[in-house]
Amino acid sequence: MPHTGRRPTNDPILVVDDDAVLRTALARILRSEGHEVIEATTGPDALALIRNERPCLVVMDSMLQGMDGEMVMRTSQSEFGKRAPAFILLTTSPREAEQARDLGALLGLCKPFRVEDLLDIAEQFRAPIYDHDSESGVIRIVRPAQREFDLDGALLRAVADAG
């Protein structure tokens, strides 16, 4: 998976697809991992949300009626330059996925794809949560989706559903 090279943030992830089942499923999965998610069904709606909500990442079907994913990505890059969100374009063929990367997408994912691949990228955009214990002076960095905890420089893996 490519490394984004971007500063982590708590800005939302925009999911755009005219297929309600896929869009809702992707949004639900991302939310279950702790991401804030906004949704759109068309290119113009996606562009409006990019302008108003400033998502850190756009996961978008490349084949939308009217204004497709590539057009939304190029318009966003033109308007915001380096401050444009990163794009993952969902394609129907490996050739289109490669073409999406050539046009400036962080990643082209060919349907069907592994959800883990999407989650790995999305996690790179999440800012860590810092927790400071004033009594001990320990600063703890928590990455909830990875269930990792950094305590005084030692990385520990939490057991999900321990109990």
Q: How do residues 102-154 score in pLDDT, each as one tens digit?
A: 999 999 999 888 888 889 888 887 765 555 566 766 655 544 444 333 344 44
Same structural domain, 90 and 33 = yes
Same structural domain, 48 and 95 = yes
At 48, list the tokens. 């409006």
Please check whether residue 55 lies inside any domain of the structure. yes
In this predicted structure, which of 2-11, 58-67, 71-80, 125-134 has the lowest mean pLDDT? Answer: 2-11
Average pLDDT for 12-34: 94
Please check whether residue 139 lies inside any domain of the structure. yes
Transcribe 38-103 into DSSP letters.
EEESSHHHHHHHHHHH--SEEEEES--SSS-HHHHHHHHHHHHGGGSPEEEEEESSHHHHHHHHHT
- Tell me how many domains the chain contains: 2
Range of the domain at 162: 128-163
pLDDT for the residue 91: 94
Q: Average pLDDT, whole number, for the chain? A: 80
Same structural domain, 32 and 89 = yes
DSSP 133: -
